[in-house]
Chains A and B, each alone.
Chain A
Amino acid sequence: DAKTTQPTSMDCAEGRAANLPCNHSTISGNEYVYWYRQIHSQGPQYIIHGLKNNETNEMASLIITEDRKSSTLILPHATLRDTAVYYCIVRGRHGSSNTGKLIFGQGTTLQVKP
């Protein structure tokens, strides 16, 4: 079973920041938080991942709370092309028994509106 909880859907105005929350209250110390997105009928696209520090790359920022029980993916200036299903996934660290598989939940459908 997925170890994360996400809202089913969210809307965002084009040009505004999209903030996608994720709860992972049972996360353990050796587990990372990964974010992927899937645009209709395409393969999932890797966005970002982190352990405990905030992370930023060219696509997004990942903010992880100090207790690591939740995180937020931030798309700073959403465009219509960011409309997709966003998946938050908790995954074991290299060397643990569960590094192989990604367990996807239902994700959050983000609709960016003009």
Chain B
Amino acid sequence: DAGVTQSPTHLIKTRGQQVTLRCSPKSGHDTVSWYQQALGQGPQFIFQYYEEEERQRGNFPDRFSGHQFPNYSSELNVNALLLGDSALYLCASSLGQTLTSQETQYFGPGTRLLVL
């Protein structure tokens, strides 16, 4: 049973560039959430996708956007990169919209983004 996978593992970009990060959810899961974790901090919620739509969003600017595909995989896009966007980006998957599930989220290993 494959867990959550993310690609790439590491990435280096320069200010102003755009980046796309990818996530494949755990087998059987249909909901993907994205988090940003700055060094020394806890993860911060960016947004969540279910049925190819953004269901909930955290306090992040519009430079952060996402997409979910019919196979439930997801992308996180960040435009006009700033130095402060350097962080570990985490993807978590869960099974949404059931009457009994507490929607436990399972995390991938993350993508380490460095903006120079």
Contact = CB atoms under 8 A, between A and B. Distances in A.
> Is chain B found bound to chain A in the same assembly?
yes
Interface of A: 2, 32, 34, 36, 41-46, 49, 87, 91, 93-94, 99-107
Interface of B: 4, 33, 35, 41-45, 48, 55-56, 58, 88, 90, 92, 98-110, 112
Contacts of A107: 42
Contacts of A49: 102, 104
A94 B102 contact: yes
A44 B103 contact: no
A100 B88 contact: no
A15 to B, nearest CB: 28
B105 A102 contact: yes
A46 B103 contact: no
Interface of B is mostly: loop
B44 to A, nearest CB: 7
Nearest to A89: B42
Contact of A104 (B42, B98, B101): B42
B103 A94 contact: yes
Which of B4, B42, B88, B110 has the most A CB atoms < 10 Å from its CB?
Answer: B42
Contact of B99 (A44, A94, A103): A94
B42 A106 contact: yes
A105 B42 CA distance: 6
Contacts of B104: 34, 46, 49
Given A94-B99, A94-B101, A101 B108 contact: no
Given A46-B105, A104-B43, A94 B98 contact: yes
Given A44-B43, A94-B102, A107-B42, A101 B48 contact: yes
A27 to B, nearest CB: 15
Contacts of A44: 43, 90, 92, 107
B59 to A, nearest CB: 10
Contacts of B35: 102, 104
Contacts of A99: 103
Contacts of A101: 33, 45, 48, 56, 58
A87 B44 CA distance: 13
